[in-house]
Chain A
Amino acid sequence: MEKVITVKIAGPAGTGIKSAGLLLAQVLNESGYYLKDYSEYPSLVRGGHNTYQVSFSVNEVYCVHKMVDIFVSLAKNHWQEHEKEFTKNTLVFADSDGKTDIPLREMCGQLGGSIYTNTITLGLISYLLDLNKELAKSILKKHFGDDSININAFEAGYLWGENNCQKIATDKGGNKEKKIILDGNEAVGWGLYKADLDMFVAYPMTPATGLLHFLAKNQDEFKLKVIHPEDEIAVASIASGASMAGARAAVGTSGGGFALMTETISLDAMAGLGVVYYLSQRPGPATGMPTWTAQGDLLFAVHSGHGEFPKIVLAPGDWNEAYEFGKLSLNLANKFDIPVILLSDKNLSESSTNIKDFTSDKAEIVASNKVIPGKRDKIKLYNSYEHDEEGFSIEGAEESKKMADLRLKKSKEILKEMPKVNLFGNDKAKKLIVSWGSTKGAILETLREMKNREDFAFLQIRGMWPIDPKVSQIINAFSEKILVENNATGQLEALLKSQMTVEFTKRILKYDGRPFFPEELKEALND
């Protein structure tokens, strides 16, 4: 089997770790590799400890690996806390603090500034991985323009590698299909855009902010309005107003902002307004750990909004699904005139992959049938009070029950349009892994790497709400059922049990802000 190589760069915030990482990803992409990346950073702008890591292979790789092949510390004392990620073969580079010393600061001094450690590192890594030097330089030139010092820094790093190290063995060749690099936020943005988004409204909140930035930057090309108002309550209210006026509208946030939007989710349901709520999870409660990952808001999303009403919750597991569900969410919100929650997490939203270029694709657009002002439709009142079909407030027993039934019966039709589950692996196996969301990558990567992969099947649930009760038939056909979730309480299990009879024989739960890595998942599955 072709080898997966993992490279990690660490150092304080503000040293260009992320940009070096993204440049490396571009070089790897254009060299024909499949890649996945992942960043860790604290909630601050300068200092602290940031990391960027990328895993790549000539074949599909589903998530980053924990154990690294090359580690570079851009400043002193940034490798020590990663010792558990080193094997005996890991090449560890750091500036004068006891590891393979690379004189980054001295080289920077010769170049005339302290900000070139990241491009020197890129040169070193390009040498070690035997990447095409001219290709790397052309990508750097595109990024830095005429700033020749960065090219010189790259050359210096490459040369230092030639003089001091040996290249490591890598597989060559790979995939020549043109691929684009994007993170989960951008994939969702492309999906929304392709489904004819008119207005995106958001208040910045990590890890969903990337979607705001992406759509704001592209608003002219995408012909959409991007609004950043005073708070998340206004965000949701503006989107609902826009929907009433006929716009295809979406908002983006994380748990704390979503909490403020829940009254509006209830309004959308009552008034019959389609709005997409992009909720990218991070660990709570409260401010929690803003820049880390979790799957702790599944039940919150499913139960969001006061009252009883149908809503849709979709959970993409990878970048392709983030794109597809971006489209689907806007179409379903408009088809059924209800709130749709698109549930992601930091691990998917802020990690990147390279993926088949879909930017020229055409998407199906499903329009809302609701009447809107300015089109000579029959005048209607949209109403947050219980109302009759023209919108007038009602309080009678029979008529209010009738309207509640009209809303609730949408669920049956919605269920037909929900994305089906994915069943991976050996469907005759004894053991079934059940999970949802971004854990998909780690599970698929684990199974790919496991010798005893034939012992397992993996069920990925993608339509979280309304949930198909027939899912229990699939689960119960297996003798051992293993729940995998990035939360402390097993929220998927609680959700399934509220709708069907299932029992899990084992639970693998992780809730420390970090995603699952295949190495630890493999151990837990075989435990």
Chain B
Amino acid sequence: MTNWRSGVIPTWCPGCEDFIIYAGLQNTLAKLNMDQDKTVIVYDIGCIGNMADFVKAWGIHSLHGRSVPTGVGIKLANPELNVIVIGGDGGVYGEGLSHLIAAARLNIDITVIVANNQLYSLTTGQSSPTTPKGSKTKSTPKGVESVPVVPLELIKAVNPEALAQHVSCLEPLKVAEAMEKAIKHQGFDLLDLDQLCVSFGKQLR
């Protein structure tokens, strides 16, 4: 069986749900017997993006918010490649939201996986586009004033043909199942994975 692990030990906090996404991805890629030479993973910047070092696959650890258009470029350049984009709610729903909408409208055959913990965690806990209104974070000590982005509704609104899924990281088997469905899907798909940050997200529970 193909080894999808680079050998670099993950640096996430003990108990972080990113481990569930990491394990789910490896299992899914192995189960689907994906061609390692034709699988490219694009990582955003953020805790989940640090998976770049832990996976053995063609990859590009791109810029914050730009993982989706980078993935679009790879897929357009070589449509034979399987392109999986992995990012957080800050990069994909914040800095790069317009790119997500454009890729969904294009219905390009890439998979976007978002570790959505409703927080910027690598920068130690500021509000993100999915932080519930009123939540107190380091950047919003008086509470978040905006209503949160609802990713699935957003994708469905711009492209009803796109596959948009939402699964909680508390259900690891469902995470893997959803990943399989997403990777198999022809056309654009988003997998929104609900999680909580063990280090900075306790107040969101």
Contacts and interface: CB of A to CB of B under 8 A. Distances in A.
Interface of A: 198-199, 201, 225, 227, 229-231, 233-234, 237-247, 249, 263-264, 267, 271, 373-376, 379-385, 391-393
B57 A379 contact: yes
Contacts of B173: none
B73 interface: yes
A382 B8 CA distance: 16
Contacts of A393: 50, 52-53, 61
A519 to B, nearest CB: 47
B81 A374 contact: yes
Contacts of B78: 245-247, 373-374
B63 A263 contact: yes
B1 interface: no
B98 interface: yes
29 contacts: A199-B76, A199-B77, A231-B98, A237-B62, A237-B63, A237-B72, A237-B73, A241-B62, A241-B74, A242-B77, A245-B73, A249-B73, A249-B77, A267-B62, A267-B63, A267-B66, A271-B60, A373-B37, A373-B38, A373-B81, A381-B53, A382-B59, A382-B60, A384-B45, A384-B60, A384-B63, A385-B61, A393-B50, A393-B53
B61 A382 contact: yes
B77 A247 contact: yes
Q: Which of A234, A239, A376, A385 has the most CB of B within 10 A?
A: A234
B111 interface: no
B3 to A, nearest CB: 11
Q: Which of A225, A244, A246 has the most CB of B within 10 A?
A: A244
Contacts of A271: 60
B61 A245 contact: no
Interface of B: 6, 8, 36-40, 42, 45, 50, 52-53, 56-63, 66, 69-78, 80-81, 98-99, 101-102
Nearest to A263: B63
Contacts of B50: 393
Given A238-B70, A238-B76, A245-B81, 8 more contacts: A234-B102, A241-B62, A241-B69, A243-B73, A246-B77, A247-B73, A267-B63, A374-B80
Nearest to B101: A230
A241 B63 CA distance: 11
A227 B36 CA distance: 28
Contacts of B62: 237, 240-241, 267, 384
A241 B83 CA distance: 11
A165 B8 CA distance: 85
Contacts of B66: 233-234, 237, 263-264, 267
B60 A383 contact: yes
A384 B99 contact: no
Contact of B61 (A376, A379, A384): A384
Nearest to B7: A392
A229 B40 contact: no
B42 A241 contact: yes
B7 to A, nearest CB: 10
B112 to A, nearest CB: 14
Contacts of B101: 230
A264 B64 CA distance: 11
Contacts of B59: 381-382, 391
Contacts of A230: 98-99, 101-102
A199 B71 CA distance: 15
Contact of B77 (A198, A233, A267): A198
B61 A241 contact: no
A244 B63 contact: no
Given A381-B52, A392-B8, A393-B53, A376 B37 contact: yes
Given A231-B98, A245-B78, A238 B69 contact: yes
B73 A240 contact: yes
B73 A242 contact: yes
B99 A241 contact: no
Nearest to B36: A379
A201 B74 CA distance: 13
B45 A244 contact: no
Nearest to B66: A237
Contacts of A237: 62-63, 66, 69-70, 72-73, 99
Contact of B60 (A244, A249, A264, A392): A244
Given A241-B70, A373-B38, A392 B76 contact: no
B158 to A, nearest CB: 12
A229 B6 contact: no
Nearest to B61: A383
Nearest to B11: A393
B69 A234 contact: yes
Contacts of A231: 98
A240 B71 CA distance: 10
Given A234-B99, A393-B61, A244 B52 contact: no
Top 8 closest pairs, chain A to chain B, by CB: A241-B73, A238-B73, A237-B69, A242-B77, A247-B77, A245-B77, A373-B58, A241-B70
A380 B58 contact: yes
A240 B70 contact: yes
Q: Which of B38, B45, B63 has the most CB of A within 10 A?
A: B63
A468 to B, nearest CB: 32
Nearest to B60: A382
A486 B8 CA distance: 53
B58 to A, nearest CB: 4
A340 B155 CA distance: 36
Q: Which of B8, B39, B40 has the most CB of A within 10 A?
A: B40
A384 B80 CA distance: 24
Given A247-B77, A379-B57, A238 B63 contact: no
Q: Which of B50, B52, B56, B61 has the most CB of A within 10 A?
A: B61
B102 A229 contact: yes
A231 B65 CA distance: 13
A201 B59 CA distance: 22
A241 B108 CA distance: 14
B60 to A, nearest CB: 4
